[in-house]
Amino acid sequence: MTWSNPYLVHEPPLATQMSWDLAANGMLYVGYDLDGNSKPDFYTLRIVVRSFFAKEPPNVMASYFPENIVFFVNYGSSNFYYVAAREPMFYAADVNEDGHWDLIYKDVSEDGINGNETFYDSPSGMFSANIANF
């Protein structure tokens, strides 16, 4: 818990992510396992600022976008790249690890966890809007 908001934690190192994918809204989400049971329970969502095919290797592409995070899918002779914002816009928690997000916090400034994040939604209905009063 951080700043009295349950389940809002700093993003773990990207190298520890379990999975990543694109959400239906086009944002890139990354899943992490915070409790070590091999089930994702914490997610970050970032805006994708560019996406494209290229033959250059990932380390070269990453050097072209030093202020962003670069993800890619290998298609043999070329890769499809997703260039995402460095800091997440949303943080989500799947408290009971049932595959449905229970809490979403928004960081409108996209400046990392620093206390200005606000409760956004509880898609599972587990929490209500008065979560901010915890």
Domain housing 37: 14-133
Whether residue 82 lies inside any domain: the answer is yes
Whether residue 4 lies inside any domain: the answer is no
- Domain count for the chain, please give it: 1
Q: Which segments of the chain have a pLDDT < 70?
A: 1-7, 129-134
How much is the pLDDT for 9?
A: 85
Whether residue 101 lies inside any domain: the answer is yes
How much is the pLDDT for 130?
A: 61
Whether residue 8 lies inside any domain: the answer is no
How much is the pLDDT for 134?
A: 46
Whether residue 6 lies inside any domain: the answer is no
Whether residue 5 lies inside any domain: the answer is no
The model's pTM:
0.87
Furthest CA-CA distance within the chain: 53
How much is the pLDDT for 1?
A: 33
Q: Which residues of 58-83 are buried (b: 16+ CB within 10 A; e: fewer)?
A: eeebbeeeeebbbbbeeeeeebebbb
